[in-house]
Amino acid sequence: MNSLFTPLSWDDTGFILTGVMNTVTISVVAIVFGTLLGLVVGFMRAESNKVVNVLFGGVLDILRSVPLIIQLVLFSTFVGAMGSPLDPFVAGSIVLSLYTMAFMSEVFRSGFESVHQSMRTSARSLGMTYWQTIFYIRLPIGMRAVFPSWLGVALSVIKDSALVSVIGYMELLRTSDQLISRTQQPLEILIGVGIFYFIISYPLSSYGRYVERKMAI
């Protein structure tokens, strides 16, 4: 039976790096689109009436409460059953972006609401329009307040991207799983995968600390 297994070799490097690049790609897509959508939804929730807030809140609660792996499987199965199966990258990007948006929207909503009413009133008394107050007062101050929370969500997305493997996307964890099945060397491979996730996440975390120090000046 041992003849069925082959040890790790340098030839596996390209396979692993493909998984790393796929993980980075889908993470960046989800963070960018999740941030943009979250900013819009968060602003709408901060500015809307109670009825709109309840409607938005219900949808966002579902996205936040249902485990991501279930959302991935259900979405992929649904679009397949409709006769329009999507590429795993496209399906994973859509679900992961919406999942990210659900958390980012709450981050941005709290940021908009953190700007005190007196500051908004002062801005309007100085002749600023509604949108000038948004772009020059509430957005800069609010985003500065919630940047650590945004960073935490972004780092979580990188780790959550591993779950996209359940619909066939060849990201880092899935490539490692195939290597483990072939080589029967789980310890070495999983340690390597953990190191790669650290390498992917550390630059964002480090840059985040740098930005926080600059904003504190």
Q: What is the pLDDT of residues 157-199, one digit of tens each?
A: 999 999 999 998 989 888 888 888 888 888 888 898 899 999 9
For residue 135, tell me if it sits in a domain: yes
Give the span between the Cα atoms of 62 and 31, in whole angstroms.
Answer: 19
pLDDT by residue (tens digit) across 197-215? 999 999 988 888 888 787 7
pTM over 0.85: yes
For residue 6, tell me if it sits in a domain: no
For residue 1, tell me if it sits in a domain: no
pLDDT at 10 exceeding the cut of 80:
no
- Predicted pLDDT of residue 1: 43
Confidence of residue 216 (pLDDT cuts 50, 70, 90): low
For residue 7, tell me if it sits in a domain: no
For residue 4, tell me if it sits in a domain: no
Q: 55 lies in which domain range?
A: 12-215
For residue 75, tell me if it sits in a domain: yes
Q: Is 31 exposed, middle or buried (0-12, 13-18, 19+ CB in 10 A)?
A: buried
CATH of the domain at 90: 1.10.3720.10
pLDDT by residue (tens digit) across 40-83? 999 888 887 777 788 888 889 999 999 999 999 999 999 989 88
For residue 3, tell me if it sits in a domain: no
Q: CB–CB of 94/187 below 8 Å?
A: no
SS3 20: helix
Q: Is 72 exposed, middle or buried (0-12, 13-18, 19+ CB in 10 A)?
A: buried
Confidence of residue 29 (pLDDT cuts 50, 70, 90): very high
More confident residue, 122 or 51: 122
- Predicted pLDDT of residue 166: 92
Q: Output the average pLDDT for the chain.
A: 87
Report the pLDDT averaged over residues 10-31.
89
pLDDT at 4 exceeding the cut of 60:
no
Q: Is 205 exposed, middle or buried (0-12, 13-18, 19+ CB in 10 A)?
A: middle
**Structural domains of the chain, count:** 1
